[in-house]
Structure 1
Amino acid sequence: MQSKFKMILVASAITFAFSGSAFAQQEEIVKIGHVGPLTGPSAHLGKDMENGAKMAIEELNTKGIMLDGKKAKFELLGEDDASDPKQGTAVAQKLVDAHVNGVIGHLNSGTTIPASKIYYDAGIPQISPASTNPKYTQQGFNSVFRVVANDGQLGGTLGKYAATTLKAKNVAVIDDRTAYGQGVASEFAKGAKAAGVNIVASQFTNDKATDFNAILTSIKGKNPDVIFFGGMDAVGGPMLRQMKQLGIKAKFMGGDGLCTTDLGKLAGDGLIDDQVICAEAGGVEDSGKKKMDAFKAAYLKKYGTDIKLYAAYSYDAVMTMADAMQKAKSADPKKYLPELAKIQHDGVTGHIAFDPKGDIKDGTLTIYTYKDGKRTQLAVTK
Structure 2
Amino acid sequence: MQLTQNHSVSLRLTAVAVLALTAGLAGAQDVQTVRIAHAGPTSGGIAHIGKDTENGVRMAIDEINTQGIVIGGKKIKFELAAEDDAGDPRQATAVAQKLCDSKVAGVVGHLQSGTTIPASSVYNKCDLPHITVAATNPDVTKRGYATTFRLIADDNALGAALAVHASDKLKLKTVAVIDDRTAYGQGLANVFKATARQKGMQVVAEEFTTDKATDFMAILTNIKSKKPDAVFYGGLDSQAGPMLRQMDQLGMANVKFFGGDGLCTEKLGALASKAPTLKNVTCATGGASVEKMQGGAAWKKKYDARFPGQFQIYSPYAYDATFVLVDAMKRAKSVDPVVYAPFIGKTKLKGITANIAFTPKGELTVPAVTLYAFKNNVRAEMN
TM-score class, shorter: over 0.9
* 1:124 aligned partner, one-letter code: L
Q: 1:9 to 1:173 in 2, by over 3 A?
A: farther
| C-alpha distance in structure 1 between counterparts of 2:299 and 2:197, whole Å | 39
For residues 12 and 100 of structure 2, the distance between their equivalents in structure 1, rounded to whole angstroms, comes to 46
Q: Give the aligned residue type for 2:234.
A: G
Partner of 1:34: 38
User: Counterpart of 2:177 in 1: which secondary structure?
Assistant: strand
Report Cα offsets for 1:316-344 as digits up to 9, x if no partner. 10011111111112111222112111111
Q: Residue 359 of structure 1 aligns with which residue?
A: 363
User: Residue 123 of structure 2 contacts residue 130 of structure 2 at CA under 8 Å; is this kept in 1?
Assistant: yes
Give the aligned partner of residue 276 of structure 1: 281
Letter aligned with residue 60 of structure 2: A
Higher mean C-alpha displacement, 265-274 vs 230-239: 265-274
- Supply the AA of the counterpart residue of 1:244: D
Measured in 1, the distance between the counterparts of 2:306 and 2:269 equals: 23
Q: Could you say which residue in structure 2 is the equivalent of 1:262?
A: 267
Partner of 1:232: 236
Q: In the alignment, which residue of structure 1 is the partner of 2:4?
A: none
Distance 2:111 2:140 in 1: 12
Q: How far apart are the structure 2 equivalents of 1:162 and 1:63?
A: 47
Establish whether residue 202 from structure 1 lines up as the match of residue 206 from structure 2: yes
Matched, 1:183 2:218: no
Q: CA 1:254–1:26 in structure 2 vs 1: closer, same or farther (change >3 Å)?
A: same
The 3 A distance-change label for structure 1 pair 240 and 9 is farther
CA distance in 2, matches of 1:192, 1:102: 39
1:162-187 C-alpha deviation (Å, 9 max, x unpaired)? 11111110000000111111111111
| Distance apart, 1:269 and its partner CA | 3.3
Partner SS, residue 77 of structure 2: strand
Which segments of 5 or more consecutive residues in structure 2 lack a partner in the other structure? 1-6
| Preserved contact between residue 284 and residue 364 of structure 1 (Cα < 8 Å) | no
CA contact (8 A) 1:299 1:305 kept: no
Q: Determine helix, strand or coil for the equivalent of 1:252.
A: strand
What is the CA-CA distance between 1:130 and the residue it aligns to? 0.7
Give 1:1-382 correspondences, 5 Å limit: 14-248=18-252, 249-272=254-277, 274-284=279-289, 289=293, 291-305=295-309, 307-379=311-383
Separation (CA, whole Å) in 2 of partners of 1:132 and 1:6: 69
| Equivalent pair of 1:53/1:311 in contact (CA under 8 Å) | yes
Aligned equivalents of 1:215, 1:8: Cα separation in 2: 86
**Structure 1 CA distance for aligned equivalents of residues 308 and 191 of structure 2:** 36
Superposition deviation, residue 8 in structure 1: 8.6
Aligned-partner Cα distance in 2 for 1:134–1:363: 13
The C-alpha deviation readout for 1:137-170, integer Å capped at 9, x for no partner, is 0012111001000001111111111111111100
Instruction: For 2:58 and 2:84, locate their aligned partners in 1 and report how far apart those are by CA, in whole Å.
Output: 15
- Per-residue CA deviation, residues 324-381 of structure 1 (Å, 9 max, x unaligned), is 11111211122211211111111111111111111111100110000111001014xx
Q: Is the 8 A contact 1:142 1:357 kept in 2?
A: yes
| RMSD, matched Cα | 2.1
Matched residue type, 1:328: A
1:13 Cα offset (Å) = 6.6
Letter in 1 for 2:327: D
Could you tell me which amino acid in structure 1 is paired with residue 272 of structure 2? A
Secondary structure of 2:111's match? coil
SS of aligned partner of 1:244: helix
Task: Give the letter aligned to residue 129 of structure 1.
Answer: V
- Cα distance in structure 1, aligned partners of 2:294 and 2:350: 13
What is the number of residues matched between the two proteins? Answer: 378
**1:212/1:242 contact within 8 Å kept:** yes
Most deviating of 266-275 and 309-318: 266-275
**In 2, distance between residues paired with 1:273 and 1:43?**
22
Compute the TM-score of the two structures, normalised by the length of structure 2.
0.94
Q: CA deviation at 1:265?
A: 0.4
Instruction: Give the Cα–Cα distance (whole angstroms) in 2 for the partners of residues 274 and 215 of structure 1.
Output: 21
Give, as a single letter, the amino acid of the residue that structure 2 aligns with 1:315: Y
Q: Distance between the aligned counterparts of 2:314 and 2:62, measured in 1? A: 18
Query: Structure 1 residues 202, 7: CA separation in 2 closer, same or farther (over 3 Å shift)?
Result: farther
**Which stretch shows the higher mean deviation, 10-19 or 76-85?**
10-19
Distance of aligned partners of 1:164 and 1:22 in 2 relative to their CA distance in 1, 3 Å threshold:
same
Query: Aligned-pair distance for 1:66?
Result: 1.1
Alpha-carbon distance between aligned partners in 2 of 1:165 and 1:110, rounded to the nearest angstrom:
32
The separation in 2 between residues aligned to 1:205 and 1:77, in whole angstroms, is: 33
**Unaligned stretches of 5+ in structure 1?**
none
Greater shift after overlay, 4-13 or 332-341?
Answer: 4-13
